[in-house]
Amino acid sequence: MTCIQYQNVSEFLKENESQLLERESENNLILGLADAISNAKRPFDNTLFLSLTEGGQALRSNDDRPLAITQMSSESIKELITYLHSLNTKLSGVVGPKESALIFAQEWTKQLGIGKTTAMEQGVYELTKVIPPLKQVGKLHQVQVKDQTIALQMIKGFVEECFPEDKQPEKTAQKSWEIQILNKSLFFWKDENEQIVSMAGRSRESKNAACVSLVYTPPEKRGKGYASQVVAALSQQILDSGKSKCNLFTDLKNPTSNAIYQKIGYQWVSESRHINFVN
């Protein structure tokens, strides 16, 4: 078995895209990152593009981001780790299908004598047809530069709620805002009084899909169906733009949001695990 490293994202996709597309929703993260790097409107530092001859791919977009991996055998994981060590690679974490991510994290931390902590347990969902919410009041609004103040407040709220271990939520929110406004991919839901009540973003494009992310409703606005409405409307917009499906990653510790998304047509695909390494 051999680990192959590619010099750029074009070479990586040429050799691996067809295989990744066989499980497009499960591999949404790697495919979406590869697309973002291909159409780079922002810098990516110390990228890694890898594949295993016996099956499996890995990609890192920046040296401060986790290594994203696909489902692969334990033998492939060991070969991948051996190759990464040969490069003297430092990793902040790993993210991918639950079983593969757990095996990788266990082997990586054991060999280096470091710790690990679970950052997120996520459900991967796929939608091919929107089931409109029973209550449909309001409209989707594409966020503009003039909306920066409230958008940053909502993105920061999202980061603090979903990633409580983030020590710099303001910095993370600012970076996310810059990406979203550059790609014109952030949306508000406005109620019948034109008040901003919820938010969602479009991200991680692949050949047949795009991901709905950054779903956030301020605490005082919850319980009124706004999240369902903004996700349903944005999902329909993605389908109308030519994609055959939408993806969505959920926090498995939040059963409410998981139930909401299923009601509008999202179906379970797999479980993803994000694990950070602690030196």
Q: What confidence tens digit (pLDDT) does each residue in 110-154 have?
A: 999 999 999 999 999 999 999 999 878 899 999 999 999 999 999
Closest CA relative to residue 6, chosen from 26, 34, 27? 34
Q: How many domains does the chain have?
A: 2
Average pLDDT over residues 99-117: 97
The verdict on 175 and 235 lying in the same domain is yes
| Domain range for 152 | 127-271
Average pLDDT over residues 167-176: 93
Answer whether 124's CB lies under 8 Å from 243's CB: no
Q: For position 132, which CATH number holds?
A: 3.40.630.30
pLDDT at residue 189 above 90?
Answer: yes
Hey, what are 89's tokens? 């690679």
Answer whether 127's CB lies under 8 Å from 265's CB: yes
Say what the pLDDT of residue 41 is: 57
- Please list the residues that pair with 51 across neighbouring strands: 4, 57
Domain assignment present for residue 25? The answer is: yes
The verdict on 207 and 260 lying in the same domain is yes
Average pLDDT over residues 156-167: 90
Closest CA relative to residue 205, chosen from 174, 244, 172, 263? 244
Task: Calculate the average pLDDT of the chain.
Answer: 94
Residue 20: helix, strand or coil by DSSP? helix
Return the H-helix or E-strand segment holding 104.
Answer: helix 98-112
The verdict on 193 and 81 lying in the same domain is no
pLDDT above 90 covers a percentage of the chain that reads 88
Say what the pLDDT of residue 62 is: 87
Nearest-angstrom CA–CA distance, 250 and 123: 5
Between these two residues, 238 and 182, which has the higher pLDDT value?
238
